[in-house]
Amino acid sequence: MEKVTMEQLPELFEAIALQYKENADELCKMDSKMGDGDLGLTMKKGFGGLPEIILTMEESDFSKKIRKAGMEMTDLVPSTMGMLMGTGISYGGKALTGKTELDAEGLVLYLEGFAAGIVKRGKCSRGDRTVLDCIGQAGDDARAALNKNQSASLAEVCQAALDGAKKGMEATKSMVPKYGKAAVHANVSQGIADQGATAGLVMIQGMADYILK
């Protein structure tokens, strides 16, 4: 796949939603040890609602359609993680201003914008053991792949992003949590990936399922 068009956006987010549906129980299990235990359900509901939101939205601008979808997700699941991910989607869409489709460069811009949204909403930094460590690394590696080869395909950049997301998630195993209930239970977090970062990987995996098929 060389690009994702406006008409294909619902299908892209449907693939992401499917990943959250399949991983909901595992995310809830992880979250029960260091959070509220509802992460999987929140992500399943939030991303599960996006395909229909995008499909029925009356918006002809590619960037604005994604931005508005992210904002609607924050209303659908107004939890901490729901707000972070919804804001990430919205900022990712904003980074695509002027684009009419998601190509290799667009994916890099989207992921970088997504990470910027998380920083803006969550007031967090890389290394704080959050979803940012996963998404930020995905964006970094996607950018590196494109810089190395300006002719890189969407699939090649997506694979780099997926590899980066896995690397970012793995890195959280040695980080000390600074936010929420995870910070209170920091003693049990060592050697275990952050549940937010894991949720971030699920999203990137869903994107890859669609783009790399």
* CA–CA separation, 60 and 43 (whole Å): 27
* CA–CA separation, 140 and 127 (whole Å): 14
Mean pLDDT of the chain, nearest integer: 94
pLDDT value, residue 179: 67
- The model carries a pTM of 0.95
User: Is 101 in a helix, a strand, or coil?
Assistant: strand
pLDDT value, residue 151: 97
* CA–CA separation, 7 and 151 (whole Å): 24
Domain 4-211 has CATH 2.60.40.1180: no
User: Is 80 in a helix, a strand, or coil?
Assistant: helix
pLDDT value, residue 182: 57
Question: At 35, is the pLDDT very low, low, confident or very high (cuts 50, 70, 90)?
Answer: confident
Which residues are CB-neighbours of 81 under 8 A, at least 6 positions away? 39, 42, 43, 131, 196, 199
Scanning 35-101, the segments in alpha helix (DSSP H) are 39-56, 62-76, 80-94
